[in-house]
């Protein structure tokens, strides 16, 4: 019984329930929704479930990076623009190299895209960690400038390119599963091992709980923060690569547009508090899957794609309200600690945070 209760309290349990519910709605509309068939010309598996996995791959990437940024009590609003930068660099490289099917060209495109993203991510990190700007302001500026950078890279065009190995990133399959999803999961597992098998994850969380205390404990927040923003940017660029490889075209205004919201949403659905101090990689991954399912469901139900933000907004509002102390104390009685009566926290201030969080430190 207590195990059931514990499962019910895990946020990603509700995310999985949400995915199942959305799939059920789709199946009611079309009983063949979950069917998986074989495309006779390519011999690849086809089906709505595989589409969802393909769509999920870029969202998983940006949500993974956002997880660590949010764990440090920061935010990265530039991930959508960073996807566009990554996609733009890749498409421009491939179309300049003019070597349609070489693996070398693909690796060069991927390498350059990730490299530029890391440079921009380091800039974000320096502005936050060294200059001391509020994370949402420095990444907001990067969000604004990033799309401009993507435009400059492609000369304002929606560049397209041909490169068969690169196209296979999203359109190929490994054991019947989209390659991009497999790669995304491999990256998630590698980073999860890095964070959880070393003290890195713990140090990131300690910065989120109390930067001053962690500095006193011998953790150097600056390099760590810069690394976290660089990682977020690099992962966003990889997400951009996945999303442009599907169509082999980068849309400088469309690629990654409003995706920062998807990333934040996935992280919050996955149980990571926006107040920082703890993170769940599994939760964010499941959250990203839920968003991919939601995107596909809304389209499937015939609602225009442009309307999905409204549904996502309702989910965000519900989730942030569930995180608020006022709702919790109403729902669970006197179980939670009372709110510090100093009003809501400003974006940068740590006040109003539940006392339980201090206890972790």
Tokens 């995706």 belong to residue:
259
- Report if residue 186 touches other proteins, rule: CB under 8 A: no
**Shortest Cβ 134–other proteins spacing (Å):** 6
**Shortest Cβ 77–other proteins spacing (Å):** 9
Exactly one of 185, 215, 352, 358 binds other proteins (CB under 8 A); that residue is 352
- Report if residue 147 touches other proteins, rule: CB under 8 A: yes
- Report if residue 126 touches other proteins, rule: CB under 8 A: no
- Report if residue 309 touches other proteins, rule: CB under 8 A: yes
Residues 256-275 that bind other proteins (CB under 8 A): 258, 261, 264, 274
How many residues form the binding site for other proteins (CB under 8 A)? 63
Exactly one of 141, 187, 219, 247 binds other proteins (CB under 8 A); that residue is 141
Under a CB-based contact definition with an 8 Å cutoff, are residues 233 and 116 in contact?
no
Which of 288, 270, 227, 241 is CA-nearest to residue 74? 227
Q: Which is nearer to other proteins, 142 or 188 (CB)?
A: 142
**Shortest Cβ 335–other proteins spacing (Å):** 17
- Report if residue 324 touches other proteins, rule: CB under 8 A: yes
Residue positions counted in the chain: 361
Exactly one of 8, 17, 310, 355 binds other proteins (CB under 8 A); that residue is 310
What beta strand segments (E) does 151-237 contain? Answer: 173-174, 177-178
Which of 223, 236, 224 is CA-nearest to residue 147? 236
- Report if residue 316 touches other proteins, rule: CB under 8 A: yes
| Residue 8, Cβ density class (10 Å: 0-12 exposed, 13-18 middle, ≥19 buried) | exposed
Exactly one of 20, 115, 152, 193 binds other proteins (CB under 8 A); that residue is 152
User: Coil, strand or helix: which one is 120?
Assistant: helix
Exactly one of 338, 343, 355, 360 binds other proteins (CB under 8 A); that residue is 343
Phi and psi torsions of 337, nearest 5°: -70, 145
- Report if residue 28 touches other proteins, rule: CB under 8 A: no
- Report if residue 142 touches other proteins, rule: CB under 8 A: yes
Exactly one of 1, 28, 216, 342 binds other proteins (CB under 8 A); that residue is 342
Helical (H) or strand (E) element with 218: none
Residue 201: both structure tokens together = 């994850």
Helical (H) or strand (E) element with 99: none
Which of 55, 114, 63, 122 is CA-nearest to residue 85? 114
How far is CA 138 from its chain centroid? Answer: 18
Q: Which is nearer to other proteins, 214 or 293 (CB)?
A: 214
- Report if residue 251 touches other proteins, rule: CB under 8 A: no
CA angle 115, 116, 121 (to 5 degrees): 95
Residues 37-56 that bind other proteins (CB under 8 A): none
How far is Cα 338 from Cα 253, in angstroms, rounded to an integer?
45
Which of 73, 78, 122, 106 is CA-nearest to residue 277? 73
- Report if residue 144 touches other proteins, rule: CB under 8 A: yes
Binding residues (CB under 8 A) for other proteins: these are: 73-75, 127-128, 131-138, 140-142, 144-145, 147-149, 151-152, 155-156, 210-212, 258, 261, 264, 274, 303-304, 306-314, 316-317, 320-321, 324-327, 339, 342-352
């Amino acid at each position: 019984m207590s195990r059931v209760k514990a499962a019910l309290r895990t946020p990603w349990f509700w995310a999985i329930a949400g995915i199942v519910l959305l799939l059920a709605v789709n199946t009611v509309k079309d009983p063949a929704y979950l069917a998986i068939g074989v495309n006779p010309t390519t011999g690849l598996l086809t089906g709505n479930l595989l589409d969802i996995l393909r769509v999920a791959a870029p969202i998983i990437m940006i949500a993974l990076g956002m997880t660590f940024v949010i764990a440090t009590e920061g935010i990265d609003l530039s991930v959508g623009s960073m996807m566009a930068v990554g996609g733009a660099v890749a498409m421009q490289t491939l179309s300049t190299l003019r070597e349609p099917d070489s693996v070398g060209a693909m690796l060069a495109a991927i390498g350059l895209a990730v490299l530029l993203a890391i440079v921009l991510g380091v800039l974000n990190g320096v502005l936050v960690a060294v200059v001391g700007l509020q994370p949402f302001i420095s990444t907001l500026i990067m969000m604004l400038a990033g799309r401009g950078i993507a435009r400059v890279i492609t000369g304002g065009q929606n560049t397209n390119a041909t490169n068969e190995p690169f196209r296979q990133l999203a359109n190929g399959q490994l054991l019947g599963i989209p390659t991009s999803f497999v790669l995304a999961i491999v990256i998630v597992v590698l980073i999860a091992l890095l964070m959880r098998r070393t003290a890195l994850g713990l140090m990131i969380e300690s910065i989120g709980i109390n930067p001053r205390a962690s500095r006193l404990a011998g953790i150097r927040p600056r390099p760590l923060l810069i690394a976290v923003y660089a990682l977020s940017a690099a992962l966003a660029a990889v997400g951009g690569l996945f999303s442009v490889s599907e169509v082999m075209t980068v849309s400088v205004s469309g690629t990654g547009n409003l995706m920062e919201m998807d990333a934040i949403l996935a992280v919050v659905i996955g149980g990571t508090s926006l107040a920082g101090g703890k993170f769940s990689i599994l939760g964010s991954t499941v959250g990203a899957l839920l968003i991919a399912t939601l995107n596909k469901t809304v389209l499937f139900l015939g609602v225009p794609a442009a309307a999905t933000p409204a549904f996502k907004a309702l989910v965000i509002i519900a989730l942030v309200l569930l995180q608020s102390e006022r709702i919790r104390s109403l729902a669970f009685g006197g179980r939670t600690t009372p709110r510090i009566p100093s009003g809501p926290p400003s974006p940068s201030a740590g006040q109003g945070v539940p006392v339980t969080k201090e206890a972790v430190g």
